[in-house]
Amino acid sequence: MAEKARIAIIGTGWWATEAHIPGVLEHPDAELVAACDSNPQRLATAQQAYDIQRTYTDYHEMLAQEAPDGVIVVTPHATHHAIARTCLEHDAHVLLEKPMTLYAAHAKDLVDLAAARGRELLAGYPYNYAPHAQRGRDVVQSGELGAVQYVVCTFASEVSRFLGGNVGPQFSPTRFRVQGPSEAYNRPDLMGGGQGHLQITHAAGLMFFVTGLRVAQVSAIMRNHGLAMDLVDAMAVGFEDGAIGVVGGTGNAGINHQMALTVYCEAGCFMVDSISRTGMIRRKDGSSEDLSATPRQWNRYAVTHNFVDVVLGRAENVSPGEVGWRTVELLDAAYRSAAVNGAPVLVSELYNGAAGG
- Mind listing the pLDDT tens digit for each residue in 170-216? 666 566 788 877 777 788 999 999 999 999 999 999 999 999 999 99
Rounded to an integer, the average pLDDT of 242-267 is 95
Query: pTM score, two decimals?
Result: 0.94
Q: What is the DSSP string of 39-58?
A: -HHHHHHHHHHHT-S-EES-
In total, the chain counts a number of residues equal to 357
Q: Which fold has domain 5-126?
A: Rossmann fold (3.40.50)
- Indicate the range of 4-8, 327-331, 339-343, 353-357 predicted with least confidence: 353-357
* Secondary element (H or E) of residue 195: helix 195-195
**pLDDT surpassing 70 at residue 127:** yes
Domain ranges of the chain: 5-126, 127-295+320-351
Mark 262-291 as b/e (b = at least 16 C-beta within 10 Å). Answer: bbbbeebbbbbbbeebebbbeeeeeeeeeb
Q: Could you tell me if 229 and 188 are in contact, meaning their C-beta atoms sit under 8 angstroms apart?
A: yes
Q: What share of the chain is helix, strand, coil (3-state, %, to 5)?
A: 40, 25, 35
Report residue 190 CA to chain centroid gap.
16
With CA atoms as reference, report the closest residue to 158 among 79, 63, 257, 77: 257
Rounded to an integer, the average pLDDT of 295-315 is 86
- Single-letter residue type at 93: H
Contacts (Cβ under 8 Å, ≥6 apart) of 30 = 4, 5, 7, 24, 308
Angstrom distance (rounded) from CA 29 to CA 309: 8
Q: Could you tell me if 203 and 249 are in contact, meaning their C-beta atoms sit under 8 angstroms apart?
A: yes
- Indicate the range of 78-92, 150-164, 241-255, 333-347 predicted with least confidence: 150-164
**pLDDT surpassing 50 at residue 357:** no
Q: Distances from the Cα of 250 to the Cαs of 3, 90, 278, in angstroms?
A: 45, 39, 21
Report residue 86 CA to chain centroid gap.
20
Q: Which fold has domain 127-295+320-351?
A: Dihydrodipicolinate Reductase; domain 2 (3.30.360)
Rounded to an integer, the average pLDDT of 209-225 is 97
